[in-house]
Amino acid sequence: MRTSLVAANWKMHGTQAFARQLLADLDKGLASSNCSAQVLICPPFPYLSLVGEAVGGNLALGAQNLSEHASGAYTGEVSAEMLLDCGARYVIVGHSERRSLYGESSQLVAEKYAAAKQSGLIPILCVGESLEQREAGKTLDVVAEQLAAVTELALANPWQDAVIAYEPVWAIGTGKTATPEQAQDVHRFIREQLGEAGAVTQILYGGSVKANNAVELFAQPDIDGALVGGASLKAEEFVSICCAANE
């Protein structure tokens, strides 16, 4: 049995005051609801410790990125160990914004994934196709290639203690959501690709998830929760998404 996980990706939004207020509102909203889902907050690096002070119970801390290196002369980078020090349990790797804006290849993403796993962090590996790739009928090939970069590293139990997020690039921040059927088809495919571990690995959907589409997405058998960008910056909306994961 897989539990539901709803993860907030705050990206590069807000200030310290905004983070404090959002956290307080989330805390209140989650406490007064009956949400059983695990909830994960991935704030910008400077606010990790601030959010880290509030986590516990069903609320966990994650980061949005990490270095593939353990330590050394890598100006501006943050290691897995540092994230653990701040109280993080999860880290997002291979978000499409990292792949497209910062040129992260599937191979680099796989190295970051390995660095996270080796340190004991749970990586959330983002995979997904562009609109052009979907229209060319290449969705499953693209996702398979992104997953294969990890298997090629020949890690022991590569999919154990890991989360996958299927995030069609055309649905991120655009207001366009994959239909529940489109998402389910890719989630089922991903689960098959994971082999035995697929039965227990949480596979999240991401791409314009809102309170008004979460219930039908979460009703799909292979969708175990969501990675939420824009809607995670509004406490009430995000709490509604978390609660939809109960149903």
Active centre residues (catalytic): 95, 167
Q: What is d(CA 235, CA 219) in angstroms, rounded to the nearest whole number?
A: 23
CA 189 to chain centre: 18
Nearer to ligand PEP, 190 or 209 (CB): 209
CB 149 within 8 A of CB 109: yes
* Ramachandran quadrant class, 5 (left: phi over 0; alpha: psi -120 to 50; beta: rest): beta
Nearer to ligand PEP, 93 or 151 (CB): 93
Q: What is d(CA 6, CA 202) in angstroms, rounded to the nearest whole number?
A: 10
Q: What is d(CA 70, CA 51) in angstroms, rounded to the nearest whole number?
A: 23
**Shortest distance, position 232 Cβ to ligand PEP, whole Å:** 7
Binding residues for ligand PEP, per CB under 6 A? 9, 167, 172-173, 206-209, 227-231
**Shortest distance, position 205 Cβ to ligand PEP, whole Å:** 9
Eight-class DSSP state of 54: T
- Token output for 102: 């910062």
Nearer to ligand PEP, 143 or 172 (CB): 172
Nearer to ligand PEP, 43 or 207 (CB): 207
**Shortest distance, position 206 Cβ to ligand PEP, whole Å:** 4
